[in-house]
């Protein structure tokens, strides 16, 4: 084989090698053209920087070999522990009910300068005893529940007497006359209309 043949064969081998190598090289560099020195881009998990390099004796801009971008490892997130919720407690208080007019007696049953007791159902439907006193000033209504310990006060000759502990109240207005109760009887609204006496409770 002469020198010319060997040279042609060498050129063909180099051309073939370039044909194989160049696409593989191109496949590993960003498809974006490097235009500005220091320009950066990411491609296939690598960060590339535009740098100056020599090609055929000339200084040109080209992408460097690239640095692999590390994949962040997700930190284990702690599952928040739910705080125990308070168990709602049932309210034992009765629902609020508007006061009502309760007819307790005929007007003739409570003459002037007298006090009479009457039992009727209050707005909650419970039987309750009331006192109604009449004087020249009008009518006064009182709840017959003793303010000491909740017993029902009775009308006696000496006054309104608690049978449980002996507390005594004035029949005219429910004022405290004797302990152990510390407070007078509770006043309630009373009115008279068309011959009927009403307690508002």
List, for the chain, all residue ranges whose pLDDT scores fall below the cut of 70. 1-28, 72-96
**Residues listed for the chain:** 201
What's the confidence (pLDDT) of residue 109? 93
Dihedral angle, C-alpha 123, 126, 131, 136, nearest 10 °: 10
What's the confidence (pLDDT) of residue 61? 84
What's the confidence (pLDDT) of residue 75? 61
Residue 161 in contact with residue 168, Cβ under 8 Å?
yes
How many C-beta atoms lie closer than 10 Å to residue 131's C-beta? 27
Instruction: Report helix, strand or coil for 133.
Output: strand
Instruction: Report helix, strand or coil for 128.
Output: strand
- Calculate the alpha carbon distances from 129 to 65, 164, 172 in Å: 102, 16, 16
Helices (H) and strands (E) in the chain, counts: 1, 14
Ordered domains of the chain (ranges, CATH): 29-69 (no CATH), 101-200 (2.102.10.10)
Distance separating alpha carbons of residues 107 and 126, to the nearest angstrom: 24
Instruction: Report helix, strand or coil for 3.
Output: helix
The residue whose two tokens read 């090609």 is 55
pLDDT digits (tens, 9 = 90+) for 132-174: 999 999 999 999 999 998 899 999 999 999 999 999 999 999 9
Residue 116 in contact with residue 142, Cβ under 8 Å?
no
Phi, psi of 4, rounded to the nearest 5 degrees: -65, -40
What's the pTM value of the predicted model, to 2 decimals? Answer: 0.50
């Amino acid at each position: 084989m002469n020198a010319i043949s060997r040279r042609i064969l060498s050129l063909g081998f180099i051309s073939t090698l370039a044909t194989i190598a160049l696409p593989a090289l191109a496949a590993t560099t960003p498809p974006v053209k490097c235009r500005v020195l220091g320009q950066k881009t990411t491609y296939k998990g690598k960060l590339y920087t535009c740098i100056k390099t020599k090609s055929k004796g000339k200084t040109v801009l080209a992408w460097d070999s690239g640095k692999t971008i590390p994949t962040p490892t997700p930190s284990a997130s702690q599952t928040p522990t739910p705080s125990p919720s308070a168990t709602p407690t049932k309210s034992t208080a009765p629902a609020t009910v508007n006061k009502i007019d309760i007819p307790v007696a005929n007007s003739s049953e409570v003459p002037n300068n007298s006090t009479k007791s009457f039992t009727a159902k209050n707005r909650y439907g419970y039987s309750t005893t009331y006192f109604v006193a009449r004087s020249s000033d009008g009518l006064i209504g009182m709840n017959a529940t003793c303010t000491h310990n909740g017993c029902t006060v009775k009308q006696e000759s000496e006054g309104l007497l608690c049978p449980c502990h002996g507390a005594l109240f004035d029949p005219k207005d429910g004022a405290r006359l004797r302990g152990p109760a510390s407070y007078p009887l509770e006043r309630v609204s009373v009115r008279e209309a068309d011959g009927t006496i009403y307690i508002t409770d």
